[in-house]
A and B are shown apart, each in its own frame.
Chain A
Amino acid sequence: MRRAMLSILALLLGASGAAAQTMRPFSTYRQWHGETRLDARLDYAAGALRLAAGRPAELYRMDVLYDGDRYLPVSEFDAARGGVGLGLRASGQGGLRVVSRKELRQTASVTFSPRSDLALAVTLGAVDGDLELGGLRLTDLKLEAGASRATVRFSQPNAARCRAATLTSGAAELSVLGLGNSRCDRITFEGGVGRVTLDFGGAWTSSSRVAVRMALGEVALRLPRTVGVRITLDKFLASFEPQGMVRRGTSYLSPGYDQAARHLDIDVTTAVGGVTVDWLE
C-alpha cells in the first residue's frame, strides 16, 4: 500500500516537473546612457506583475518567467523616439491546457530608472499586478486594466511633475494608493464593472482635478484632511455617504474648503453602485 502511494506521489511529482519545463525565463535590460526621457509601453497579457523603480544604472529591466508555448516576450527599444515596448503578448498558439494553475503562473518584474523622466503606458489583461510608482520620475501615466486585480502605489513622492494620469478598468479591482504623492495635475479614472479604491493620501504640493466615471460598481474615496476637497456627484442609482462634507449646490465640500491652500476637485459620475468616503488621519 505504502509502495503504491509512493509510486503515485512520484508520478505526480514527475508530471508537475514535466509541465514546468515549458516555463521560460527571459530577461532584458538596457544600460542608462544619460537618457533624460523614456516613453515606455508595457503590455502584459496574463500572470503576476511587479513594477518598481530600479537601478539607476539601468534605463529599464524586465525579468519574466513565461509560458513559452502560448506567449512571446516583447522587448523593443526605439532609439529615435526614446521609447521601449515591454511585456508579454499571446502567440496565438498552444491551444487549451488543463494543468494546475500554479504551474502556469507567469511572473514578471519590470523596473525603470529613477533618473529619466518616464511616460508610462500599461495595459494589463488577466493580471495580478503590484505597481509601485513612487520614486520614479513619472510625467504621464496611462493604465488600462482588463480583468485584473491591480494595486498602484505612490509610496514616495514622484520625483517629477506628472501631467496626467489616466486609469481605465474593465471588470477589475483596482486600488490606487497615495495619489497625493503622484504630483499629477489631472487624474482620470474610467471603470466598467468592479471596485475601485482611490486613496488621495501623500504629500500634496499642488492642487489637482480628478474625474471618476464608473458604470457599475463601487467607488471608495479616501480623502486627506490637509487639502480642501470638493466632490461633484452625478449619479443615477448610486448611493453616497457625504461623511461630514457640506453640500453646496450639486457639490459636497470638506470643512474649510475655501480657506485651504490646495484643492482637490473630484467629479464623480456613476450609474449603479455606491460612492463611499473615508477620511485619512
Chain B
Amino acid sequence: MRAPSRVLAVAALFGLLAPRVASAGTLSDPTGSHAVELVHGFWSVVADVAGQPGDADDQQAPHPPPQAIPPGSKNEPPVALDELSKPTAIETRLREALRRHDGGIRVTVTNGAARMGDFSIGSNETVPGHLLVVQGTADIYGKLLGNLVTVEGDVVIHPGGVVSGDILTLGGEVRDEGGEIGGEVRTFRTSNVLETPLPAAAAPPPSAIETVFRRMAGVLGVFLTLGALGFGLVMFGRSNLEVVSDTVSHSFGRAFATGLLGQLLLLPTFGMLVVGLILSVVGIVLLPFAVVVYALLVIVGAVGGYLAVAHAMGETYTRRRLALGAMIGSPNSYRYLLVGLGALAAFWAAWSIFGWVPVAGDLIRGAAILVTWLLATAGFGAALLSRAGVRENFAGRLLPPEALTDEYLWATPQFGVTAAKRPGSRTPTRGL
C-alpha cells in the first residue's frame, strides 16, 4: 500500500505543478524585457495567493438581467464618482449606498447613471457622465465621457472604445483590448461591497458553571505546561534546579530582594546591551541574536525560578511529612515539583471556582496574582543569586562540620533513606 500511495502523491504533485508551468510558458513579453516578465510573473503569484481571481468569471454568481438601478430616496445621499483617487473610501461609500432596501438596490449617482447587470456602450454611442455598473460586465466599444466604476464585474475596453476618466473595479478586473483610457485604472480583484454584514449577535454571557469550567481548564492547562517543563528540567538539569531550589529555601529574603532588583534592572540592562553592541560597530550584526538571547534568558530565569520555588515548597512539605513518620514511596525531585505546583495551582483553582463571586472573587484573584508574583520574583532572584544553579553560596550547602550534628543528620534523609520517627517525640523542630 505504501508504494501506490507514493505514486499517487507524486502524481498529485505533478498535477499541482503542471498548470503553473503551463501558465508560466504563456507569459512571454514582446519587448523581451526581463523586468516586464518579472512583473507579469509577480501578478501570476498574486493571482495564486488571492485564490485564482483570474477565474472569477467562473466563480461569480450569474449576472442579473440588465436594468437601470432606480434612484435612491431623498433621504439617501447620492454617490459621487468624480474623484476615484481614494478607492477604499469609494468602496466604503458604495457598500453603504448599495445595501438592499425592500429587496432591491436604489442609488443615485451624481452626474451619472447606475446600471445593474451587463452593460455595453456601442461603437457609435457616446455616454456623458459617470457610470456605475453593479454585478455586470461593462463592455466599452464607444465613448464614455466620465469615470467608470464596476462592482462585482469586469471592464472590457474594446478597440476603439474610450473612457475619458478613471476606471475603478471592485471585485473585477480591467481588460484593455486596445481601447483608450484617459485616466487612471485601479483594480481590486476582491471586494465585499455587496456582502451584507451579518448583525453581530450579542453572545450571551457565560453561566457561572461555564465560567468555572473555562477557568479550571485554563489553570489546568497552564500548570500542566509548567509540570511538563519542570519534568524536563529535573531530567536534564536536576543539580541546577536543586541548587536554585535550596537557594530559595535558605535565602528567601535575599532571593526576593535580588529578584526585585533584577526586575527593575531588566530594561536598563537591555538598553545598555543594545547601545554597547551598536557602539562596537561589529556588534551590530549580533544585535538581533543578542535581543533574542536576552529575552530567552529572562524567560528561562523567570520560569525556571518559579519551578524552583515549587520544588522547594514540595521538598519542604514532603520532608515534614517524612519527619512525622509518613510513608512516602519515592521522595524525589519529581514528587517535590508536583506537590509544589499543586500547592501553587491551589490559589488559582480557588479563583477559578470562586472567581464569579462579587468582591470575594476579585480578592482571591488579587491574592493569587500577588502570591505568584512574590514567588516568581524570589525564584528569579534565586536563579540570579545561584547563577542558574551553578553557585551554591546561598543554597545552605556549605555547612560547617560542627553544624552536622546527630540531630541534623537524623532529621535529614541522606541518599534516599527516609527518616524514622523518633521514639517518644511528637514533632521535629524547625529546619525540616
Residues of B within 8 A of A55 (CB): 31, 36
Q: Is the CB of A135 within 8 A of B278?
A: no
User: At the interface, yes or no: B189 with Cβ under 8 Å from chain A?
Assistant: yes
Give min CB distance, B343 to chain A, whole Å.
Answer: 32
Within the complex, the shortest CB–CB distance from A167 to chain B, in Å, comes to 20
The answer on a CB contact under 8 Å between A23 and B49 is yes
A52: chain B residues at CB < 8 Å are 35-36, 38-39
Alpha-carbon distance A54/B36, docked complex (angstroms) = 5
| Alpha-carbon separation in the docked complex, A56 to B33 (Å) | 11
B327 interface hit (Cβ, 8 Å): no
Which B residue sits closest to A272, measured CB to CB?
A: B281
Check if A129 is an interface residue, CB within 8 A of chain B.
no
Chain B window 1-41, contacts with chain A (Cβ cutoff 8 Å), 1 for yes, 0 for no: 00000000000000000000000000000010101101100
Q: Identify which of A20, A25, A31 contacts B188 (C-beta below 8 A).
A: A25
- Tell me whether B50 and A25 are in contact (CB under 8 A): yes
Please determine whether B88 and A73 come into contact, CB atoms closer than 8 angstroms: yes
Contact status of A107 and B46, CB under 8 A, knowing A31-B180, A56-B31, A193-B284: yes
Known: A63-B39, A218-B281. A135 touches B188 (CB 8 A): no
Cross-interface CB contact of B39 among A20, A33, A61, A274, cutoff 8 Å:
A61
| B188:A107 contact, CB within 8 angstroms | no
Find out whether the CB atom of A76 lies under 8 angstroms from the CB atom of B85: yes
**Closest CB of chain A to B169's CB: distance in Å?**
9
Cα distance A20–B281 in the bound complex, in angstroms:
39
- Choose from B36, B187, B284 the contact partner of A26 (Cβ within 8 Å): B187
Can you list, as one digit per residue, whether each of B239-281 has a CB less than 8 Å from chain A (1) or not (0)? 0000000000000000000000000000000000000001101
- Known A-B contacts A26-B188, A55-B36, A75-B186; A65 and B281 likewise in contact (beta carbons under 8 Å): no
Would you give the shortest CB distance from A179 to chain B, in whole angstroms? 19
A65 pairs with B49, CB closer than 8 A: yes
Size bracket of the B interface: 20 to 34
Given contacts A31-B181, A75-B184, A216-B281, whether A25 and B189 have CB atoms under 8 Å apart is yes
| CB within 8 Å of A: which B66-119 residues | 85, 87-88
CB distance from B156 to the nearest CB of A (A): 15
Q: Which of A29, A53, A65, A75 contacts B33 (CB 8 A)?
A: A53
**Could you tell me the distance between the alpha carbons of A30 and B185 in the complex, rounded to whole angstroms?**
6
Question: What residues of chain B lie closer than 8 Å to A50, measured between beta carbons?
Answer: 38-39, 42
**B-contact bits for A37-69, CB 8 A (1 contact / 0 none):** 000000000000010111110000101010000
Tell me if B53 counts as interface (CB < 8 A to partner A): yes
Query: What are the interface flags for B277-289 relative to A under an 8 Å C-beta threshold, 1 for contact and 0 otherwise?
Result: 0110100100000
Name the interface residues of B110-141: CB closer than 8 Å to any CB of A.
none
Which chain B residues border A30 with CB–CB below 8 Å? 181, 183-185
Residue interface mask A91-115, B partner, CB < 8 A = 1: 0000000000000000101010000
Chain B interface residues (CB < 8 Å from chain A):
31, 33, 35-36, 38-39, 42-43, 45-47, 49-50, 53, 85, 87-88, 173, 176, 180-190, 278-279, 281, 284
Minimum-distance CB pairs A-B, first 5: A52-B35, A27-B187, A109-B42, A76-B85, A25-B50
* Extra contacts besides A26-B186, A77-B183 (16): CB < 8 Å: A24-B50, A25-B46, A25-B47, A25-B50, A26-B87, A27-B43, A27-B173, A28-B187, A31-B180, A52-B35, A61-B39, A63-B39, A111-B36, A193-B278, A193-B284, A274-B281
